[in-house]
Structure 1
Amino acid sequence: MRTESEEGRLSELAPITPLDADEEPPRRRMPFAWFWPLLVGAAAALVLRIAFSGGPGHPFSAMLGAFVYLAPAVCGAVTVYMAERIERRSWGYYLWAPWVSTALFVIGTLLVFIEGMICAVVIVPLFAVMGSVGGLAMGLVCRVTNWPRPALYSFAMLPLVLGAIEPHLPNPDQFSTTSRTLFIAAPAERVWHELNNARDIRPAEVDDAWAYRIGVPLPLAGVTEETPEGRVRKVLWQKNVHFEEVITEWQPGRLLKWRYRFAPDSFPAGALDDHVMIGGQYFDLRDSAFTLTPKDGGTELRVEVAWRVSTRFNWYADRVAGFLLGDGAEHILRFYKARSEGTVAVAAQ
């Protein structure tokens, strides 16, 4: 057994240093402390999304620039602010953490069914960028000022203030076109027939286009019919989507051009996201045309598509529309190529 004198000598060898009066004892971290700032940032943005549930053209619409730019920025700012309350973070954290929180925010909108898959997919890149902008701004505020909380509250209120004002300002219109060309080893007469008589379209013939991968209903048929007003191409998609393409130029074997016509029931509820409704306030297909040029051994088929976007972020929306419509045009050409060449092969047997 140790004697009292031995224990005293041991205590002298390893003395216990008391805490300074001004020094705080180390705080015990909560479980998963690294995750809480990301979750709180996503929750703050989700609250803003619920607040921005107004219809097209009304205050607090989710298509307003006040929401699209500022909601992810608030998400990033809240994320960084909550993380800074735990410990000082790096500039790299201010950049990447908002990416995660905005992704969680988008997933949350899908889980509570206030956002559709199409909008969620196409908006993620812009949200990630704006989230980083908000995170970097809040990180700077936390480092150089003593008022991060008032700054955060002011920042969070900004989208709500602008969301009430912005609908009173007209949206700018931007008109664009895209075109694609493909050679088809079939005569122009055969290609022309397929253009005007596309029936029983199978998913495997078109479903690898990006627009269909993210939720746009697949086409089922596109057939030209004679009507009292002239030739009309009637189109049917899945989910009971239907609309008409009123033919404005008709040169058999050479040119087929139409303008789109949508009825109030062309897009049943749930068929498309409300924000990307074709023919709506923010997006519209204007016209399309197929041009056939006979070539040695077949036909060169060219498709041109024109559209309109009307948002506060046309620079982004137009590029997304151009990508999806251009990719869709390529797959439509491949569809008609397969149909036309397959028919010719069967006829030759």
Structure 2
Amino acid sequence: MPSSINIQPASHSARDRWRAMLEGVALGAIYGILLRLLNHTNFVGPKAQTFSQTFSVMTIAFLFGGPVVIGILTVRRAEAIEHVSVWKWIFLPWISVFVMLLTLWLFLIEGGICILMASPIALVCASIGGLIAGTWSRLRKPSGLTLTCVAILPFLLAPVEARLTAPSSTRTVASEIRIHATPQTIWRNIERVPAIAPSELSTTWTRRIGFPRPIEATLSYEGVGGVRHASFERGLLFIETITAWEPQRRIAFSIKADSAHIPTTTLDEHVTIGGRYFDVLDGEYTLEPLADGNTVLHLVSHQRLSTNFNGYAGLWTDAVMQNLQNSILEVIKHRCEHA
């Protein structure tokens, strides 16, 4: 008798599977780039300001919803031929996000500061989108119309969200340093800060991502009402008006960023100090003499944060301000102890 023949279903080649995954990565990255371009002033033309406010990057729909859609599109396309493993649901969308962010950075559409701040939440949300798409594919293949509706959802929600008034919160950042010097010596180094040489500042992560370094602080006259000009590189200037003056004990000042004269290339538009989303309000130095001859120098500042995700944004603004304050305190410590 002739032997029976078992016919096995043809399996897709490894090349086909890799092509599907690469297409998914490309689809997710292109979607993210197009979503960002709608908010880029050089792209949208003469009505950029109105358009930018309508499709604001600083919305939950864009910053959180956009990456979710990237993850959905990436994994859905990757699963077009056959199911992929769960770990690919989680990490394949990361490649799409990295490609998107790298492209935006290379073409100067997004700066290093914003990319660093957006990356963690973008990666997490992209993985969530990947898990949604993977589970969805297992249960039921989503139609092209359904995916299209999902893709345009951030475009529909962002304008609505942008019209809502973002809640404002006041953040407090406190720093301190122990200095082996008298209050008199320290006071001379905080009421005015002579020009800071680049060699006096350690290389910090905030400087690596593009935040300007401090240069100097001048003072018009001693006492309440005196005006300090705290200068940073690339034209960043803070105008500080003295509100409390207790020699060798305490100096406090309100802060107003000279935003009208800050070059647009100094900071990303979404983290401009004195702008729509973030501002530094005031600062205060307090000197605490110790019995052992040392002095603890305290520096406290308050910032205004106005976004729809202040909890997440506050983690970054606090970290940036803490790093900046610590850098200034280190300069003061070194100058006082080597006076």
TM-score by length of 1: 0.87
Q: Which residue of 1 aligns with 2:22?
A: 35
| Range 213-222 or range 139-148, more displaced | 139-148
Q: CA deviation at 1:167?
A: 1.8
Q: Which residue of 1 aligns with 2:58?
A: 63
The 5-angstrom pairing of residues 171-210 of structure 1 reads: 171-210=166-205
Q: CA deviation at 1:16?
A: 12
How many angstroms apart in 2 are the aligned matches of 1:263 and 1:200?
A: 19
How many angstroms apart in 2 are the aligned matches of 1:239 and 1:35?
A: 41
CA deviation vs aligned residue, 1:40-84 (integer Å, no higher than 9, x gap): 211111111112336488200111221111111111111101110
Q: Which amino acid is 1:117 matched to?
A: G
Percent identity (aligned): 30
CA 1:28–1:117 in structure 2 vs 1: closer, same or farther (change >3 Å)? Answer: closer
The structure 1 residue matched to 2:94, chosen from 92, 99, 105, is 99
**Contact in 2 for aligned 1:287/1:306 (Cα 8 Å):** yes
Asked if 1:48 is matched to 2:44, the reply is: no
The structure 2 residue matched to 1:112, chosen from 94, 107, 116, is 107
Q: Which amino acid is 1:316 matched to?
A: Y
Q: Which residue of 1 aligns with 2:335?
A: 339
| Range 292-301 or range 117-126, more displaced | 292-301
2:53 aligned counterpart, secondary structure: coil
CA 1:42–1:165 in structure 2 vs 1: closer, same or farther (change >3 Å)? Answer: same
Q: Which residue of 1 aligns with 2:217?
A: 222
Asked if 1:300 is matched to 2:296, the reply is: yes
1:265 aligned counterpart, secondary structure: helix
How many angstroms apart in 1 are the aligned matches of 2:228 and 2:22?
A: 54
**Contact in 2 for aligned 1:249/1:258 (Cα 8 Å):** yes
Q: Which residue of 2 aligns with 1:5?
A: none
Q: CA deviation at 1:36?
A: 3.2
CA deviation vs aligned residue, 1:294-342 (integer Å, no higher than 9, x gap): 2232311001111121111111001111122122222221111001111
Q: Which residue of 2 aligns with 1:233?
A: 228
Q: Which residue of 2 aligns with 1:253?
A: 248
Q: Which residue of 2 aligns with 1:155?
A: 150
1:278 aligned counterpart, secondary structure: coil
Asked if 1:284 is matched to 2:279, the reply is: yes
Asked if 1:319 is matched to 2:304, the reply is: no
| Range 57-66 or range 106-115, more displaced | 57-66
Q: Which residue of 2 aligns with 1:271?
A: 266
Q: CA deviation at 1:150?
A: 2.9
1:334 aligned counterpart, secondary structure: helix
| Range 315-324 or range 96-105, more displaced | 96-105
Q: CA deviation at 1:134?
A: 1.0
CA 1:327–1:262 in structure 2 vs 1: closer, same or farther (change >3 Å)? Answer: closer
CA 1:211–1:28 in structure 2 vs 1: closer, same or farther (change >3 Å)? Answer: closer
Q: Which amino acid is 1:84 matched to?
A: E
How many angstroms apart in 2 are the aligned matches of 1:17 and 1:205?
A: 81
**Contact in 1 for aligned 2:282/2:302 (Cα 8 Å):** yes
CA deviation vs aligned residue, 1:118-143 (integer Å, no higher than 9, x gap): 10111110111111111111111111
| Range 154-163 or range 263-272, more displaced | 263-272
CA deviation vs aligned residue, 1:253-284 (integer Å, no higher than 9, x gap): 11111111123434211000000011111111
What are the ranges of 5 or more consecutive residues in structure 1 without an aligned counterpart? 1-12, 344-349
How many angstroms apart in 1 are the aligned matches of 2:247 and 2:85?
A: 66
CA deviation vs aligned residue, 1:214-249 (integer Å, no higher than 9, x gap): 101111111222299931111111112222111111
How many angstroms apart in 2 are the aligned matches of 1:340 and 1:227?
A: 20
* Structure whose alpha-carbon radius of gyration is higher: 1
Q: Which residue of 2 aligns with 1:81?
A: 76
Q: Which residue of 2 aligns with 1:6?
A: none
TM-score by length of 2: 0.89
Q: Which amino acid is 1:336 matched to?
A: I
What are the ranges of 5 or more consecutive residues in structure 2 without an aligned counterpart? 41-47
How many angstroms apart in 1 are the aligned matches of 2:92 and 2:26?
A: 11
**Contact in 1 for aligned 2:238/2:258 (Cα 8 Å):** yes
How many angstroms apart in 1 are the aligned matches of 2:12 and 2:257?
A: 65
How many angstroms apart in 2 are the aligned matches of 1:312 and 1:100?
A: 27
Cα RMSD between the aligned structures? Answer: 2.6
Number of paired residues?
Answer: 329
The 5-angstrom pairing of residues 122-133 of structure 1 reads: 122-133=117-128
Q: CA deviation at 1:147?
A: 2.2
Q: Which residue of 2 aligns with 1:165?
A: 160
**Contact in 2 for aligned 1:52/1:67 (Cα 8 Å):** no
How many angstroms apart in 1 are the aligned matches of 2:107 and 2:143?
A: 31
**Contact in 2 for aligned 1:65/1:311 (Cα 8 Å):** no
